[in-house]
Amino acid sequence: MYSYSLLEPGCYYLIQEEAESALSLIRIHVESDHCMFLSVFGTEEEQVWKKKNDPIHDIVELLSDEAVRQWEASYNKDAYNYEEEDEE
């Protein structure tokens, strides 16, 4: 069993929070004395705070810079955040 305290700001990780849960891609933004501020990427990006001692079942992988570039090229968050313009 791991915890968020092992993760480094600025890095992307594939993690599994619980034994039977799906993998999640996260990016650590800020580390405070007791917490971590991070983004969780799914259909939409969610930003959350986690306690450093919150459990992580498995840290599957620290993504390389190349893997992050490839993922960013295929992940289009704007595809889920658009509004149709009103026709006049």
Q: Among residues of the chain, what percentage have pLDDT more than 90?
A: 76
How far, in Å, CA of 54 to CA of 44, rounded? 23
* C-alpha radius of gyration, the chain, whole number: 15
Q: Is residue 60 part of a domain?
A: yes
Structure tokens at 32: 């405070």
22 found inside a domain: yes
SS3 66: helix
**What residues form DSSP beta bridges with 68?**
none
Q: Residue 29 sits in which domain range?
A: 2-64
Q: Give the mean pLDDT of 51-78.
A: 91
Q: What is the mean pLDDT of residues 44-60?
A: 96
Strands 45-51 vs 55-56: parallel, antiparallel or unpaired: unpaired
Tally of structural domains, the chain: 1
- Tally of CB atoms within 10 A around 25: 19
* 70 occurs within a structural domain: no
Q: Which residue has the higher pLDDT, 77 or 67?
A: 67
